[in-house]
Amino acid sequence: MSVSNKFNNFCSNIRIPKNVVDKISYRYKRITKQLNHDFWSTDSETLHSFYVGSYGRDTDIHTSDIDMIFRLPYTVYERINEYIGNGQSALLAEVRNSLQKTYSTSHIKGDGQVIGINFDDGINFEIIPAFVNKDNSYTYPDSNDGGKWRTTNPKPEIEAIRKTNDECNGNLKNLCRMVRSWKEKCNVPMGGLLIDTLAYQFLRNWNHRTDSYTYYDWMTRDFFKFVKDQDKDKTYWLSPGSGQYVWKKGDFNYKAKRAYNLSLEAIDYEDREMPYSANEKWQEIYGSKF
């Protein structure tokens, strides 16, 4: 099997299956409809909500956490912000009470910033109630330590990933998913947004960014060289689009160096037409779905 076919198959293997995507969409619409009914007096299944996080950027390979923002009317913010006590906690309670009309209370949790719905099949939703700002960022509640408001700006990140992925022949999102497979296989301390940020920065300047799966062995090699050569003392990067800080969770340089060295071995085996040995090396990087 050619390198192109191997990586094509691998990228297909780590995509979230369509039946699962359909199930996520169904639940997303039910959640949106219930919140719209209670906060906007409409039964729309799509208005005022959108996916965020890795699923929203379309770079995820698992469904353990599906993040979504639901935009509330600004009048709710004005009312909640007048609370003397922890208004943020009261707001989360209002959203939780709304969702309890649709889902069992045993499945609904709160962790201070989101309302979580944990389904028995392992698909977990995290709903962030938020208010849109004049600059199109979003203010959302944090009920920890007495309560405060926080700001996030996910839409420019989603758009930057989408735009660059289109410009790079679909290679950016594939790379983001491949790196998540490496993270899982090798227990790498990197969050999803940092993975997407580094993949974005790398691919925008890579010579073969618009080429096909034929170059994915080189893409693996060159990406892990890019990651291993990151400044070890650096603590944050700026996310695509929004420029928000993306913090380092732990040392990833060593594991990236190991992946880089494994890729060199795999490419050498491919060149010598030793596919079984090459596959073993690719699997040491990416796991059994390769």
Question: Contact, 115 vs 129, CB < 8 A?
Answer: yes
Least confident of 11-20, 37-46, 50-59, 78-87: 78-87
Domain boundary among 152, 184, 217: 152
Mean pLDDT for 219-241 is 97
145 in the same domain as 259: no
* Sole residue written with tokens 């996030």: 152
β partners of residue 130: 71
- Give the model's confidence band at 64: pLDDT under 50 very low, under 70 low, under 90 confident, else very high: confident
Kind of pairing, strands 124-132 and 236-238?
Answer: unpaired
Residues 6 or more apart whose CB falls under 8 angstroms from that of 142 comprise 88, 112, 113, 148, 149, 150
Question: Contact, 82 vs 91, CB < 8 A?
Answer: no
- Give the model's confidence band at 12: pLDDT under 50 very low, under 70 low, under 90 confident, else very high: very high
Total structural domains within the chain: 2
* pTM of the model as a whole: 0.93
Q: Is residue 127 part of a domain?
A: yes
The boundaries of the domain holding residue 272 are 156-286
Q: Is residue 4 part of a domain?
A: no
